Amino acid sequence: MLSVATTNGSQGNSMETVMATMERQTARRTQTNVTQMMESIFASVSLAKDLSARCKSRALQVTDDEIQSTAQDLENVLQNIYDDLCRIPASAFGSSAYMDVPIKSQPMRDCCKADIPINVMGNRPRTRSLRDNDTPRLVDFLKGMYHESHEFSGQMFNTLLEVTEYIEPLYDAFICALTNEIMTDPVMIESGVTCDRRAIEEYIERFADSSEPVYCPVTKMTMQSKTMVSNASLKCVIEEWTMRNEIMRVRIARTALSLSTTDTMVLEAIHELKLLAKLRVKNRELMHKIGVTKFLARLLDNHNDQIQFEALKLLCLLAQDEEGKDIIGKTKAIARTIKLLSSNSTDERHAAISFLLELSESQLLLDNIGSTPGSILILTTMKLNSSDDPIAAARAGAVLKNLEKCPKNIKYMAESGYLEPLQSHLVEGSEEIQMEMVGYLCELVQEQELTIDINRSTSEILVKMVRGCNPMVRKAALNVLAQLSLHRPNNKMLVDTGAVPVMIEELFIRKVDDEPVNSMANAATVLANIVESGIDPDTTVVNKEGHVLTSKYSIYNFVHMLKCFMPDDLNLSVLRILLALTALAKPLDTVVSVIRENYRGHSIIELMGSPTEVLSLAATRLLITLSPHIGHTIVERLCKTQGQPHKLVKSISHAGRITERQATLATLLAKLPYRNTSLNIALVKDGAVPAMLRAIKEVENGAGRSSRQAVPYMEGLVGTLVRLTATLFSPEVLKAAMDHNLASVLTELLDGAAGSDEVQRLAAVGLENLSYLSIKLSRPPPDELQFKKKNTLLKLLKDSKAHSNKKTSLHQVCVCPVHRGVCSPAATFCLLEAGALEGLLGCLENDNIRVVEAALRALCTLLDERVDVEKSVAALAELDVARRVLAALRQHRQNVLWQKCFCVVEKLLDHGDDRCVREVTGDRMLPTALVSAFHRGDESTKQTAESILRRLHKMPDYSATYVSMEF
């Protein structure tokens, strides 16, 4: 078997010879009118370039993207014409004047690209080349080609590839005789036939195991030698033709895209461009250069879904190099691709996410992708909903992973609910990255009020930052912890990772000269949020010694931190901690003990007067909580603080919208010990009574009723008035009560117009206190007027309210049947004269047992031994007291009402008329209630129940005298 040898072709077939032959053939084909045609084309090019410049100038003025794009397209088409003209051989121009048009100097090989190459074997072209005067008609041809099969100069075309072969003809010499395909490595065999190297080697290999001679596949001559000679010239020409063919195909496809006559044209052009983009990098570079990449971005808004899909796939190919990514980044392709992520078509979604994945490989586009509205939100939704589309979810995760390289995108991901990147970079990143992530966390929680659930590793790293020595890092970590701890679920994690001892150390022990106040304030905020979250303070350890939050060590330090000269946010956080702790019995006792022992109440009172409303509210609430335990101590400090009672009165009675601060201050005055004479006298001297009455009248008239603070504000105002009735033994207080007719004021509040049970209860309590003084204040009637007393009791009851607001003159004096003297609502606080009986009896129908009890206590003041009980019972019987009291006893079967109800019942049985007695004894529930009270009531209740049972003949009467008679 002969060996196969390979040699290079002779230098006679050099590239220069081939190019010269092509030059001569092209010159012969030049038409006689080429000079006129060239003049026209170059004039048109000059004019078109001028129009393009004007379009661009106009576009820059109006900043219209579409006009700029159109101008760019026009320029690209003109450049194509210019390039085609440059390929015409120089011999065709002669010495005409139009040669003055500037033409770029190009190498010989570039100038010959339009010529028809000839094979060294002398073969003719397989198709006819496009004539010179056919070039201007190419655009019209492409417009009509996709409507129907188009005949152009006797040639039929249906595809862009046929057009390309018509312009850049394929020659028989390029075709391998064995494969009938264009050769890539042409070699000449012994018979003179040129074949592709690989094909002829495979052909010869078939004869390797055979004794038959090798025949030429074309001439069928016997081959004595298997030597193959490389046809370097032909190979070079084929390579040139291939490159020229591909370039022409790119340009024709670009022209077809620009025309966009039909969807079919666009789709075939995109398909052609995809094939060319896959072949070689230079084709992609040409597409970038002539505007294909930029034009494809506009096709993403096309109405045809198939065009959008194919454009995405081609863009994905063109984005594989940095130049393509840079061009795409300057268009609207990214924003349009984001829209396609929500497409109903799975293929389109996958193409869009694949395109984004390719773009995200470029560091320059990360910010562009992340800042596009909705991009990260849609990507995170895709990733999190992996069950809907696993492929899209995986690619979306890859895109997000690339986007993490831009720190700002991590923030966008957190805003979209995807927190893992932020937390992972916070834990694993460098100190600079950690600081940036901490800043993002703080911004997200504080400025955007985003709820973030932190994991254990994030909590640990933040606590570790606080323990560090870098002031900036510590400050940032404390700041973000203060924000994160606002979300209650995070506090359990913070406690588990040891945040409480670190915060306690910041507050009680650690002192850094550069940052004591800010660190303490933030640490106190974190601790306040943790304590308020509902953790168990009895088991929360604060230091190595085993102290807990409720121990005296902790509370003592908290109380002693309250100072007026400390920042408001620090004082506020400490007050919040104490308020949360005092909600529990054990720490409440400790707080009371510490304040009582160390006289720290004055600091809280001073903070109550702070101009910062939230701080004033916290201090006031703490005082309200402590008032039942150290109320007199608080009052003492309050009165000793110069001008404090006057400030309170002024703040509470300030006209306008009812604020939370006004309501809280009014509540404090109502909760402080009622029998503290010093405070009550101070309030009277500071004009509290008229101020409270004006405020009550404003609320009753509708001012501030819509405010949610109206009810507690009203309760505080009424409570402040009622507290004065507890110290009527003070001349100043008694005079104020008389001057402002408190009995009538409280009577009006019984009807429930204020809309609060507590207001009714307080009014009843105040009337009770006032009524106890009526017997003492009632004046004996003048002797000369005694005989004029002819009014009946019923008339007295009907006219009592009318007389309550009038001054009692001598000729109008009426003797009160209950107090046996001259009474009036203002002077003696008589309940009959004030018309309070109907209101008090109406309170017995209230569902609130405390209101019923207060009303019964006020009614019982009229059944006291110092008054005329018989007349009182008669007055009450006229208002159906028996039925109402028994109904209240039936509705509220609690021990607290037994004594007062039985007291009224006993008086009705002792002093009531027959109708009243029958009504009481006829009630079937009364014996059962009496028996229950006799079994479980206190000593006084048992005695009253026993007495009534005896009257009902339910128990033996041990006081009766029995006479023994013997027979």
Residue 154 has pLDDT above 90, yes or no: no
Coil vs helix vs strand at 820? coil
Measured in degrees and rounded to the nearest 5, phi and psi for residue 208 equal: -65, -40
Model confidence pLDDT, tens digit, residues 816-873:
888 888 888 999 999 999 999 999 999 988 889 999 999 999 999 998 888 888 898 8
pLDDT given for residue 768 in this prediction: 93
Do 398 and 270 belong to one domain? yes
For CA atoms 336, 337, 340, 341, the dihedral sign is negative
pLDDT given for residue 453 in this prediction: 84
Tokens for 908?
């009705």
Model confidence pLDDT, tens digit, residues 359-396:
999 998 999 999 999 899 999 999 988 888 899 999 99
Model confidence pLDDT, tens digit, residues 728-781:
999 999 999 999 999 999 999 988 665 688 999 999 999 999 999 998 888 887
Residue 326 has pLDDT above 70, yes or no: yes
- What CA–CA distance (Å, rounded) separates 311 from 94? 45
Q: What does each C-alpha distance from 59 to 53, 68, 171, 257, 534 come to in angstroms?
A: 10, 6, 46, 22, 65
Do 913 and 870 belong to one domain? no
- What CA–CA distance (Å, rounded) separates 144 from 148? 7
Do 345 and 384 belong to one domain? yes
pLDDT given for residue 57 in this prediction: 60
pLDDT given for residue 13 in this prediction: 40
- Taking only Cα atoms into account, the Rg of the chain, rounded to an integer number of angstroms, comes to 52
Residue 927 has pLDDT above 70, yes or no: yes
pLDDT given for residue 680 in this prediction: 92
Residue 434, domain member (yes or no): no
Give 632's contacts (C-beta < 8 A, 6+ positions apart): 673, 676
Model confidence pLDDT, tens digit, residues 220-246:
888 888 788 888 888 898 888 888 888
Residue 42 has pLDDT above 80, yes or no: no
Long-range contacts of 451-456 (CB under 8 A, 24+ apart): 451/487, 452/414, 452/419, 452/484, 452/487, 452/490, 453/419, 453/487, 453/489, 453/490, 454/423, 454/484, 454/490, 454/493, 455/423, 455/493, 456/493, 456/496, 456/497
363 secondary structure, DSSP code: G
pLDDT given for residue 88 in this prediction: 59
Q: Which segment, 85-89, 470-474, 808-812, is predicted with the most confidence on average?
A: 470-474
Residue 96 has pLDDT above 80, yes or no: no
Give 570's contacts (C-beta < 8 A, 6+ positions apart): 517, 520, 521, 524, 561
131 secondary structure, DSSP code: P
Residue 759, domain member (yes or no): yes
pLDDT given for residue 356 in this prediction: 93
The domain total for the chain is: 4
Mean pLDDT of 171-192: 86
Strand pairing report for 815-816 and 821-822: antiparallel
Name the pLDDT band for 454 (thresholds 50, 70, 90). Answer: confident
Q: Across the strands, what pairs with 187?
A: 195, 230
Residue 349, domain member (yes or no): yes
Residue 635 has pLDDT above 60, yes or no: yes
Do 266 and 354 belong to one domain? yes
Q: What is the CATH number of the domain that holds 397?
A: 1.25.10.10
Residue 718, domain member (yes or no): no
pLDDT given for residue 231 in this prediction: 87
Mean pLDDT of 468-477: 83
Residue 168 has pLDDT above 50, yes or no: yes
pLDDT given for residue 624 in this prediction: 94
Residue 120 has pLDDT above 90, yes or no: no
- Could you tell me which residue, 59 or 779, shows the higher pLDDT? 779
Model confidence pLDDT, tens digit, residues 655-703:
678 888 999 999 999 999 999 999 999 999 999 999 999 988 888 887 6
Residue 199 has pLDDT above 50, yes or no: yes
- Could you tell me which residue, 127 or 494, shows the higher pLDDT? 494
DSSP codes, 52-67: HHHHHHHHHHHT-HHH
CA dihedral 923, 924, 927, 928 (to 10 degrees): -130
Tokens for 526?
């974190």
- Could you tell me which residue, 506 or 515, shows the higher pLDDT? 506
Model confidence pLDDT, tens digit, residues 548-568:
999 999 999 999 989 888 889
Domain endpoint, select from 374, 391, 417: 417
Mean pLDDT of 47-51: 63
Do 226 and 327 belong to one domain? no
Residue 503, domain member (yes or no): no
Domain endpoint, select from 350, 383, 417: 417
- Could you tell me which residue, 671 or 115, shows the higher pLDDT? 671
pLDDT given for residue 224 in this prediction: 80
Do 840 and 759 belong to one domain? yes
Do 284 and 407 belong to one domain? yes
Residue 311, domain member (yes or no): yes
Do 281 and 413 belong to one domain? yes
**pLDDT over 70 percentage in the chain:** 76
Name the pLDDT band for 618 (thresholds 50, 70, 90). Answer: very high
Coil vs helix vs strand at 228? strand
- What CA–CA distance (Å, rounded) separates 113 from 610? 90
Residue ranges making up the domain that contains 837: 741-781+814-879
Q: What does each C-alpha distance from 583 to 224, 429, 536, 590, 621 come to in angstroms?
A: 112, 42, 12, 12, 11
Model confidence pLDDT, tens digit, residues 344-358:
889 999 999 999 999
**pLDDT over 90 percentage in the chain:** 28
pLDDT given for residue 73 in this prediction: 64
Residue 251, domain member (yes or no): yes
pLDDT given for residue 14 in this prediction: 38
Residue 712 has pLDDT above 60, yes or no: yes
Do 859 and 777 belong to one domain? yes
Do 950 and 856 belong to one domain? no
Residue 408, domain member (yes or no): yes
Sole residue written with tokens 């601790």 = 527
Do 302 and 397 belong to one domain? yes
Q: What is the CATH number of the domain that holds 171?
A: 3.30.40.10
Do 267 and 387 belong to one domain? yes
- Residue 58's CB is within 10 A of a number of other CB atoms, namely 13
- Could you tell me which residue, 145 or 665, shows the higher pLDDT? 665
- Residue 420's CB is within 10 A of a number of other CB atoms, namely 15
pLDDT given for residue 644 in this prediction: 81
Contact criterion met (CB below 8 Å) for 929 and 937: no
Domain endpoint, select from 395, 417, 439: 417
Name the pLDDT band for 957 (thresholds 50, 70, 90). Answer: low
- Could you tell me which residue, 460 or 54, shows the higher pLDDT? 460
